[in-house]
Amino acid sequence: MSNLKEKKEVTIIVNGGEPHVVEKDEITYDEVVTIAFPDFPQHPERTYSVTFERGHGNKPAGILSPGGTVKVKDGMTFKVKHTGQS
């Protein structure tokens, strides 16, 4: 019997686009932004606002801040917008 928690696959939607399958319990701000804007890692000075809906129980919707993480759930949706600040 193993104590290792098996990573589950969940499908999330970013900016209303194609579904993305992620193998994890939590997703980071950087990972969500990179799905929406693949060149984000080359431009870490850019800032984005990230909101989510259809999340877990006591936090079904909210804001994902830089450096933050959120538990993912199948069918969860994220909206990522460039804020224009740097």
Is 73 among the domain residues?
Answer: yes
Residue 70 belongs to domain spanning:
9-82
- Each residue of 39-53: pLDDT tens digit? 988 987 888 999 999
Number of independent structural domains in the chain: 1
pLDDT at 1: 44
Q: Model-level pTM? A: 0.85
C-alpha distance across the termini of the chain, in Å: 49
Query: Residue 64 is part of a domain; what is its CATH number?
Result: 3.10.20
- Each residue of 64-82: pLDDT tens digit? 999 999 999 999 999 999 9
Mean pLDDT value across the chain: 88
Contact by Cβ (8 Å): 50, 29: yes
- 4 pLDDT exceeds 70? no
Q: How far apart are CA 67 and CA 86, in angstroms?
A: 16
Classify residue 57 by its DSSP letter: T
Strands 9-14 and 76-82: parallel
**Cα–Cα separations (whole angstroms), residue 36 to 3, 24, 28:** 34, 18, 13
pLDDT at 59: 77
